[in-house]
Structure 1
Amino acid sequence: MKKRSRILAFLMVLVLMGSFGFDTHSATIFKDIGGLQEREAIGYLHNKGYVNGVGNGMFAPYATITTAQAIQLMVNFMELNLNDVRFVKAPLATDYFEKAINSAWYKEAFIITGVKNPVFPSDINPNQPMTTEAFVYYLIQTLELQYDLPMIKVLPQSITDNQAINPNYSGAIQRALYYGIIALDQQGNIHPNRLITRARAAQLVKNVMDYRDARERSIENTLKFEATLENTSRDDGYGMQFRMTNVSNKAVLLTYSSGQKYDYKVYDPNGKMVYQWSKDKFFTMALVDQIVKSGAYITFDEVWTYVDDEGMKVPEGVYKIVFETMFNYEDAFMTLSDTIYVDYSK
């Protein structure tokens, strides 16, 4: 009897391991997710073929996931593959992850991740249970890499259990809050060290997909705005005016999520960023709405005094300035930018 129990337990582990695979696309309704707030996300991902059940109509929403399962899930929902890659020799999972087993169920996902989504360190333990903070970190890294998101500086939100967060993960967690991927509980906690469950992982992935869809809509919306950056006369440095014009045929409502409405960065002749206007500045967290009528525009005037982030005068040369404005429009986050080059000589 004990032997049979061990066999059943072993089979259940194998089912859980592979249950983020592609091998089902049916509209199965799982018996054990009724009443869960993640139910809609689980059903959506299941119908897409990104997650599976564990058998007998069950999903096991409270089971925790391992690093290997998290990697498989990210490969699935990003629909990563190696169709456009040609190898000199057949790749192995251990070519990218030293602790992987080349015959394991996750081998293909590990190879794909090593080639297409290199956000995981090579020394990860595939069987290590994943914490909430680690899952959020790798999820945000994956989102930002796959969609080439611009690096943004956000005003950190207050997190009650912030001291429990791994400092290496804190930046990604703040960006996840900013993107709306995660939310704090009623006490302001994130519970970073709590092992993430299958249900919670499914919900966060669905949130990422919602953000991705909103961003794609925002890219379409950029056609409604025109951004220009021009030099203006200033005695104290290089003056510039950024203008954003509403070129659509209707008035639009823009929402700024903080006191920071714009930013600009300066790059030296070698492409290295030497100055960022927003560095060391603090902005109030407040929603500000602004209506821009058709044909109207918003302008931002700034000056660069030819210094770097340390306050030192930069050497002579041609510098690139990228000016951008960030806002929400029709429930989508948008960034508009333009570039100008400065030939600086003392």
Structure 2
Amino acid sequence: MRKKPLIVIALTMLLVFSLSQSVWAFSDTKNNPNESKIEALQKKGIIGGEKDGKFNPNGKLTYAAGISMIVKGLGLNIDNIRFIKAPKVTDHFKNLKDDAWYSNAVIIAQYNGLDIPVDVKAEDEMTREQFAHHLFKAILTKGDFAFTKQYVVLNDEKSVNAEYMDSIQKLLILKIASLDAKQNFNPKTAITRGESAAWLYDAIEFVQNTPPVTDPTPAVDYKLTTEKVNADITKVTITAQLPHPGYGLHITSISFEGDQAVIHVEVGKPDPDKIYPQVVTEKSVSTYIDAKLKPILSAPGQSVDGSTGFPIEEGGSASGSTGFPISG
């Protein structure tokens, strides 16, 4: 008689487990070519369904959903930036909402350089070329990776936004993205939710399984200038003379010490698969700080202890090699 309750409990637990397994999986991804990758992302909490337990894999991906899944999937954050006041999504994107479910992800994407169009709307459909570009930009935040020297021919190359071509090429080389049977990429076609999940899954796998390459940072001359936006905001621009156009310039973080805003920058490595003209090139990158703060430049090879990286005056500039203020 005592064994009966144990049997009932065991059967109940088995039933609950079975139900939880069926509830966990989306009800409309069965037989979808990307089913296993969608399920894997769901189990990690990276993607969610729309309603009624459905993922809608063939539905069009919105910008809000696309940016959110990239940020979450690749673990992007802005933990290395200290803000005087909380950033708002409307500081950069007037068509978005500050209190929306996607706003935090968009802010993180903006400060990680995902290159989101300033006029974007949350419900805009994200095209294949746009998702490819934002996804590859997110990959680059995880380190410098080596790519094989090849160029994938697209029959519809003329339809591709030239600014997105490099990102598309890299995803094709990595076999994260693919062409159709006619060797078309279909750049202006809205990407489906299922395909975007598959690309994201493969991008995560690439980052996790591929060690970044290391390359010494070249000696660089930096210059810092300011521009008054209004009574509360100052625009700070860092300019550097780089060995050739393949190098980039990035603001990695902003820290605050008293009334000083210490702006940390680094040089982005050139694409090893490309050949660049050996011409010294000027690159610039900008950020915005509270007008009450004094901007300080912190770059490789520099310190901010008072010997270099001096604050600059309003409307002036400072050399990255000495950091002495220049008035006017």
TM over 0.5: yes
What TM-score comes out, normalization by structure 1 length? 0.55
Residue in structure 1 matched with residue 153 of structure 2 by the alignment = 158
- Contact 1:133–1:169 under 8 Å retained in 2: yes
Count of residues paired in the alignment: 217
Task: Give the match for residue 89 of structure 1.
Answer: 85
Counterpart CA distance in 2 for 1:214 and 1:309 is 33
Contact 1:96/1:110 (8 A) holds in 2:
no
Is 2:23–2:53's contact at 8 Å kept on the other side of the alignment?
Answer: no
> Contact 1:26 / 1:47 at 8 angstroms: preserved in 2?
no
Matched, 1:129 2:153: no
Q: Please give the alpha-carbon distance, in whole angstroms, between the structure 2 residues aligned to 1:168 and 1:113.
A: 18
Q: CA deviation at 1:140?
A: 0.6
Corresponding residue SS for 1:309: coil
TM-superposition CA deviations, 1:147-194 (whole Å, max 9, x none):
122586843111122222122211111111122211222321211111
Q: Which residue of 2 aligns with 1:204?
A: 199
For 2:186 and 2:218, the matched residues in 1 are separated by: 39
Per-residue CA deviations over 1:222-257 (Å, capped at 9, x if unaligned) read 9xxxxxxxxxxxxxxxxxxxxxxxxxxxxxxxxxxx
1:294 alignment partner in structure 2: none
Residue equivalent to 1:74: 70
Q: Of residues 264, 269, 272 in structure 1, which corresponds to 2:242? A: 272
Q: Is the 8 A contact 1:93 1:102 kept in 2?
A: yes
- What is the CA-CA distance between 1:87 and the residue it aligns to? 2.7
Q: Does the Cα contact within 8 Å between 1:27 and 1:47 map onto a contact in 2? A: no
- Is the counterpart of residue 108 in structure 1 residue 88 in structure 2? no
- Helix, strand or coil for the counterpart of 1:40? helix
Q: Which amino acid aligns with 1:272?
A: L
In the alignment, the residues of structure 2 paired with residue 266 and residue 177 of structure 1 have an alpha-carbon distance, to the nearest angstrom, of 28
Q: Which runs of 5+ in 1 are unaligned?
A: 1-24, 223-263, 282-307, 311-346
Shift of 1:132: 0.5
Per the alignment, residue 184 of structure 1 pairs with: 179
Secondary structure at the counterpart of residue 184 of structure 2: coil
**Residues 32 and 60 in structure 1, CA contact (< 8 A), matched pair in contact too:** yes
User: Is this contact kept in 2: 1:41–1:203, CA < 8 A?
Assistant: yes
Residues 266 and 273 in structure 1, CA contact (< 8 A), matched pair in contact too: no
Q: Give the equivalent residue in structure 1 for 2:310.
A: none
SS at match of 1:110: helix
C-alpha change, 1:309 and 1:113, in structure 2 (3 Å) is closer
Q: Which runs of 5+ in 2 are unaligned?
A: 1-20, 222-240, 247-271, 280-328
* Aligned partner of 2:136 among 134, 140, 145: 140
Amino acid in the other structure paired with 2:278: D
Q: Which amino acid aligns with 2:44?
A: K
